[in-house]
Amino acid sequence: MNTPCTQLRAWALHLAARGWHVFPVSPGAKKPPVIDRWETRASTDPDQIAAWWRQAPYSIGLATGPSGLVVIDLDTTRHAETVPDQWARLGITTGTGVLRTLARQHGQEIIPTYAVSTPSGGWHLYYTSPPGAALRNTCGVLGWKIDTRARGGYVIAPGTPVPSGGYELFDDRDPAPLPTWLYEALVPRPATGHSAPPVAAATNPDRYTLAALRGECQRVRNAPPGRHNATLCRAAYALGQLIGAGLLDAATARAQLTTAAQALITDECGCTPAEVARVITAGLTAGARNPRRTTPRTSIRRAA
């Protein structure tokens, strides 16, 4: 009988045969992994994989670090989402468009590689990581609507259905080596301090900004296992956009995020104080480069 468990198990075994480390994720795709310490327990062993997918029709998580992969996650705009000015002027509304533009700026093209379409209409582009590279997950470092998954990260693998669609294999060729220009943009730089790009910082944030700060910090505290890095990265990026808009000062954002992220530093994952600081710095810096467009509160009140 071709049951959902059978189909998912077949996909998981196929991916493992390519040398990629997989593990079960709660049905519904982006929910927390079923197993603790998922990055170290992700497996290519057929017996282990068969045992996992006999239990339930789990979504398939693919641990990018142990698999030697860097996955470029190209997202799309959500309903009523504001596009940063630098991309809106060019008519670009997706991560795919941003990546194409960045490639052209480097005199390159997006080379064909293993590719998966995502339920949101975006893409996962799989590349092999350079030998010995210590690349980690990033959020917005390459550009708007572009995240990456490497060490410490995972993606939902092709063949995984979700209520809004599925992760569909588009190009089954072997992953291409990560292009040099992408590697150079992603390789960690020596720390030069904890400041985001200089902006006119608000020393007295309004109540809307403070509510956003509280909300992002609460999301970080509540981040589920397996989503610590991604949640912290997105929160730092969102607050970085407020910094770039002059609505929030970087010191306040960093201090609040650092305090909230203490809840993530446990024995159950790879979060460390140094990793938390790195993710916060990267997220704040990337967000500040793409300031949130706002309407002055005074204008809103007058219009009302």
CATH assignment of the domain containing 13: 3.30.2250
What pLDDT sits at residue 301?
38
81 exposed, middle or buried (CB, 10 Å; 0-12, 13-18, 19+)?
A: exposed
Question: Same structural domain for residues 146 and 252?
Answer: no
Question: Same structural domain for residues 157 and 213?
Answer: no
Question: Same structural domain for residues 222 and 292?
Answer: yes
Question: Same structural domain for residues 176 and 86?
Answer: yes
Give the pair of three-digit tokens for residue 256.
């609040």
- Residue 304 pLDDT > 50: no
Per the domain annotation, does 202 fall within a domain?
A: no
- Residue 199 pLDDT > 60: no
Calculate mean pLDDT across residues 57-77: 96
Question: Same structural domain for residues 62 and 152?
Answer: yes
pLDDT bracket for residue 208 (50, 70, 90): confident
Distances, alpha carbon 141 to alpha carbons 147, 172, 197, 268, 301, in Å:
7, 27, 13, 27, 36
- Which percentage of the chain shows pLDDT scores above 70? 88
Average pLDDT, the chain: 86
Distance of alpha carbon 231 from the chain centroid: 8
Can you give the pTM of this predicted structure? 0.75
Per the domain annotation, does 196 fall within a domain?
A: no
CA 157/CA 154 separation, integer angstroms: 9
Question: Same structural domain for residues 13 and 162?
Answer: yes
What pLDDT sits at residue 43?
97
Per the domain annotation, does 10 fall within a domain?
A: yes
Question: Same structural domain for residues 167 and 93?
Answer: yes
Tokens 């698999």 found at: 67
Q: Please, are residues 182 and 102 in contact by the beta-carbon 8 Å criterion?
A: no
pLDDT tens sequence across 121-176: 999 999 999 988 889 888 888 998 999 999 989 999 999 998 888 999 999 999 99
Per the domain annotation, does 22 fall within a domain?
A: yes
Per the domain annotation, does 195 fall within a domain?
A: no
Q: Between the ranges 102-111, 130-139, 268-277, 283-292, where is the mean pLDDT highest?
A: 102-111
Distance of alpha carbon 33 from the chain centroid: 16
- Residue 31 pLDDT > 80: no
Tokens 């291409």 found at: 176
- 240 SS3 class: helix
pLDDT bracket for residue 51 (50, 70, 90): very high
Residue 13: CB atoms within 10 Å: 15
DSSP string, 180-243: HHHHHHHSPPPP--SPPSP----SS--HHHHHHHHHHHHHHHTPPTT-HHHHHHHHHHHHHHHH
What pLDDT sits at residue 80?
78
Question: Same structural domain for residues 8 and 120?
Answer: yes
CA 40/CA 63 separation, integer angstroms: 9
What pLDDT sits at residue 218?
94
- Total domains in the fold of the chain: 2
Nearest-CA neighbor of 250 among 216, 289, 201?
201
Q: Please, are residues 144 and 97 in contact by the beta-carbon 8 Å criterion?
A: no
Question: Same structural domain for residues 44 and 131?
Answer: yes
Worst-scoring range by mean pLDDT, 8-22, 24-38, 230-244?
24-38
Per the domain annotation, does 201 fall within a domain?
A: no
Distances, alpha carbon 39 to alpha carbons 24, 33, 110, in Å:
11, 10, 29
Question: Same structural domain for residues 113 and 174?
Answer: yes
Question: Same structural domain for residues 99 and 34?
Answer: yes
The domain boundary residue, chosen from 130, 157, 188: 188
Per the domain annotation, does 199 fall within a domain?
A: no
Calculate mean pLDDT across residues 98-118: 95
Per the domain annotation, does 194 fall within a domain?
A: no
The domain boundary residue, chosen from 188, 217, 249: 188
Structural domain harbouring 282? 207-298
Question: Same structural domain for residues 152 and 221?
Answer: no
Q: Who has greater pLDDT, 295 or 168?
A: 168
